[in-house]
Amino acid sequence: MGPYPSRRRCADADRHRHSAGDVRRASKRQDARRRAGHRSAPRRGRHHGTCNHNRPPEVSPIYADFAAGFPPTLIQGGTREIFLSNFVRLYCAMVDAGQDAILDPYEGMPHAFQAYPLQMHSPESQAAIGAIARFLNKHLAFGA
């Protein structure tokens, strides 16, 4: 699985749950939304309403308490996206809590590469969509 953490290496990830993540800071110039002056950038943080604590799980699942249980989760992302550190930290938090999580990274792909029209037909997008279908078929028992 490359440079991504194994289940045993996630054990100390909790101390990193509250930082922005190295990749997010390093990838700011690569993020298409920032380069293009994307409209959502100035409004970041306004979507969580009137939460009165600093890390609401409604804003980011990284701060959720997974110990109470959570459904099986497939986490996909690209190695060129600004949220790489976030989805690795989410995976670690879930695994540390004993949840069934799969980390499925794709080399060189940006955020939401599976859905972008220019990338939807790439081999990576097709592989990711196939992985989603297999995951759903397994966990939702389609066709059973």
| Residue 81 belongs to some domain of the structure | yes
Q: What is the pLDDT of residues 46-74, one digit of tens each?
A: 554 555 556 777 778 888 889 988 999 99
| Residue 78 belongs to some domain of the structure | yes
| Residue 40 belongs to some domain of the structure | no
d(CA 106, CA 103): 10
b/e for 74-97, b at 16 or more Cβ within 10 A?
A: bbbbbbbbbbbbbbbbbbbbbbbb
Domain tally for the chain?
A: 1
| Residue 56 belongs to some domain of the structure | no
| Residue 108 belongs to some domain of the structure | yes
pLDDT surpassing 50 at residue 1: no
* Predicted pLDDT of residue 28: 58
Write down how long the chain is. Answer: 144
| Residue 50 belongs to some domain of the structure | no
| Residue 133 belongs to some domain of the structure | yes
Phi, psi (deg, nearest 5) at residue 8: -75, -30
| Residue 26 belongs to some domain of the structure | no
- Secondary structure letter of residue 16 according to DSSP: G
Q: What is the pLDDT of residues 95-126, one digit of tens each?
A: 999 999 999 999 999 999 998 877 888 999 99
pLDDT surpassing 80 at residue 24: no
Q: The pTM is what? A: 0.67
Residue 135 domain boundaries: 73-144
